């Protein structure tokens, strides 16, 4: 186990580099506690005011997300996570749409999405085509993905920003290819949403999935699905219920009809806890200078990259800011187990994580220049 001297005093938040996993902002604990306390009072009061309180707040959560993605009204709804949103979308497609066709993903997609597709392929009659990494490469090259995108592809799921390298794809080029091939185009925007501008209409994508956990600083369970208004009417969600209807209070069990907008994906009584718990974070985010948040991230990331070079470490993240998300991923030498490095840093109040030998560093709103210098000094010490 690596051992390092612990300073007498340190600020825990200033050296926080975990935005690829859980985002933080000043006052988050206070705001979250207040929101949950208010909900407890409303839900625990013996009157009939509960739904009139929680449903508008859920809608405000959705509207905050719509503003982030420049999405039209009636095109976004809530899901527990990215995987469930993607699953719900897949099962809603016209019967046989994917049968006999390819579903295209990259080998550096989020594993949960690949697990889902691999398990659905046989039952739904499609072939999962995974674009591989080149020998020794850290991420799938854009040109390899484009070459693999043939007319046989019925649906492609693009990973906008990789969770293990922070590589950001050439989205416009990808979408243009997808339109040429006549494929459905979906994007997992989880690792960049809220930090890097994303507009669902420019270039126009067919669907997008994300979560509120990361740069949005929300809580688990607050996933979202965007679906193009061109496609909503053709989708028939398999999981349906009273909230899927134009009027949820239709009690005639012989007459069901889907809502015209994305509410058709809402099925039974909606879960609201995650949306209400994440709403303070989204309200905070809406009040920020988003370009300033990105500039702050870029400045600290650039400093880390310079240090990585000086220390002789291997950078896994693209150097060009236009080709990366908000993270800097570093390959640690085999003689230093990355998990042990993370543990040593934790003892110094420096918050990071690792995937295998990849050290993941994501500076955000609470991360400071001083915290970044502490990280670099700690790296220098562990390298000896």
Predicted confidence pLDDT, tens digits, the chain (384 residues): 455 544 433 455 799 999 999 999 999 999 999 999 999 999 999 999 999 999 999 999 999 999 999 999 999 999 999 999 999 999 999 989 999 999 999 999 999 999 999 999 999 999 999 999 999 999 999 999 999 999 999 999 999 999 999 999 999 999 999 999 999 999 999 999 999 999 999 999 999 999 999 999 999 999 999 999 999 999 999 999 999 999 999 999 999 999 999 999 999 999 999 999 999 999 999 999 999 999 999 999 999 999 999 999 999 999 999 999 999 999 999 999 999 999 999 999 999 999 999 999 999 999 999 999 999 999 999 998
Which helix (H) or strand (E) segment holds residue 346: the answer is helix 338-347
| 240 and 366 part of one domain | no
Query: Do 238 and 123 lie in a common domain?
Result: yes
Q: Looking at the structure, do residues 269 and 299 belong to the same domain, yes or no?
A: no
Helix or strand holding residue 34 (H, E)? helix 28-43
Final residue belonging to a domain, choices 286, 319, 346: 286
Output the six-digit token pair for 341.
């490095």
187: β partners: 158, 208
Per the domain annotation, does 1 fall within a domain? no
* CA-atom Rg of the chain in angstroms: 22
Give the rounded distance of the alpha carbon of 112 from its chain centre. 12
Q: What is the predicted pLDDT for the residue at 242?
A: 95
Q: Model's pTM, two decimal places? A: 0.94
Helix/strand/coil (H/E/C) assignment for every residue in 82-93:
HHHHHHHHHHHC
What pLDDT does residue 7 have?
42
Helix (H) or strand (E) holding 209: strand 207-211
User: Within a 13 Å sphere around the CA of 97, how many CA atoms are in the beta-carbon half?
Assistant: 17
Q: Is 194 within 8 Å of 187 (Cβ atoms)? A: no
The neighbouring-strand residues paired with 153 are: 102
Tokens of 229: 């208004």
Give the residue from 253, 286, 319 where a domain finishes: 286
Residue 163 gets the label, from left (phi > 0), alpha (psi -120 to 50) or beta, of alpha
Q: Which position has the token pair 């293990």?
A: 164
Query: Which residue, of 244, 267, 286, is where some domain finishes?
Result: 286
In a domain, 4, yes or no: no
For residues 175 and 244, state if they share a domain.
yes
Q: Closest Cα to residue 358, out of 190, 110, 164, 168?
A: 164
Q: Are residues 180 and 278 in the same domain?
A: yes
Residue ranges of alpha helices (H) inside 131-170 are 142-148
Residues 295, 372, single domain; the answer is yes
| Residue 325: domain span | 13-24+289-382
Phi, then psi, of 359 in degrees rounded to 5: -85, 125
Whether 2 maps to a domain, the answer reads no
- Token duo for residue 113: 């999405």
Is it true that the peptide bond before 203 is cis, omega within 30 degrees of 0? yes
In the prediction, which pLDDT does 13 show? Answer: 74
CA 100-102-107 angle, to 5 degrees, is 150
**Beta-strand pair 153-159/127-131:** unpaired
Answer yes or no: do 377 and 359 share one domain: yes
66 falls within a domain: yes
Query: Do 263 and 349 have their domain in common?
Result: no
Shared domain check, 166 and 274: yes
Query: Given this model, what pLDDT does residue 9 score?
Result: 39
CATH number at residue 295: 3.90.1150.10
Structural domain count of the chain = 2
**In a shared domain, residues 180 and 231:** yes
- Contacts of 314-323 with C-beta under 8 Å, sequence gap 24+, read 316/138, 316/139, 316/164, 316/165, 316/358, 317/165, 317/166, 317/167, 318/165, 318/166, 318/167, 318/168, 322/168, 323/167, 323/168, 323/170
Q: Are residues 207 and 298 in the same domain?
A: no
Question: What would the two tokens of residue 28 be?
Answer: 């988050």
127-131 sheet: strands from edge to edge: 76-79, 223-227, 207-211, 184-188, 153-159, 102-106, 127-131
């Amino acid at each position: 186990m690596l051992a390092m001297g612990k300073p007498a005093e340190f600020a825990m938040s200033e050296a926080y580099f975990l935005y690829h996993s859980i985002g933080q902002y000043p006052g988050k604990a206070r705001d979250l506690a207040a929101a949950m306390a208010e909900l407890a009072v409303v839900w625990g009061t013996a009157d009939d005011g509960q739904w009139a309180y929680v449903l508008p707040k859920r809608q405000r959560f959705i509207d905050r997300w719509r503003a982030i993605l420049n999405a039209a009204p009636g095109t976004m709804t809530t899901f527990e996570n990215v995987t469930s949103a993607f699953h719900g979308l897949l099962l809603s497609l016209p019967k046989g749409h994917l049968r006999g066709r390819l579903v295209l993903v990259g080998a550096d997609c989020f594993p949960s999405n690949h697990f889902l597709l691999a398990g659905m392929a046989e039952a739904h009659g499609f072939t999962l085509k995974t674009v591989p990494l080149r020998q020794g490469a850290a991420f799938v090259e854009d040109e390899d993905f484009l070459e693999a995108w043939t007319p046989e592809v019925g649906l492609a799921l693009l990973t906008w920003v990789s969770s293990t390298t922070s590589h950001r794809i050439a989205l416009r080029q990808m979408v243009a290819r997808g339109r040429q091939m006549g494929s459905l185009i979906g994007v997992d925007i989880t690792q960049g949403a809220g930090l890097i501008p994303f507009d669902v209409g420019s270039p126009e994508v067919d669907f997008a999935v994300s979560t509120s956990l990361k740069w949005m600083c929300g809580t688990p369970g607050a996933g979202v699905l965007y679906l193009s208004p061109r496609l909503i009417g053709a989708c028939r969600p398999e999981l349906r219920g009273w909230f899927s209807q134009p009027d949820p209070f239709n009690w005639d069990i012989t007459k069901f009809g889907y809502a015209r907008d994305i509410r058709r994906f809402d099925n039974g009584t909606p879960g609201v806890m995650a949306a209400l718990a994440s709403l303070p974070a989204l309200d905070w985010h809406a009040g920020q200078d988003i370009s300033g948040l990105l500039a702050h991230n870029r400045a600290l990331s650039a400093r880390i990259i310079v240090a990585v070079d000086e220390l002789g470490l291997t950078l896994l993240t693209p150097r060009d800011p236009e080709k990366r998300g908000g993270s800097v991923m570093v390959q640690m030498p085999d003689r230093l187990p990355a998990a042990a490095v993370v543990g040593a840093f934790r003892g110094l109040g420096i918050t990071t994580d690792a995937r295998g030998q990849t050290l993941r560093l994501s500076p955000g709103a609470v991360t400071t220049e001083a915290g970044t210098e502490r990280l670099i000094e700690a790296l220098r010490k562990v390298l000896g």
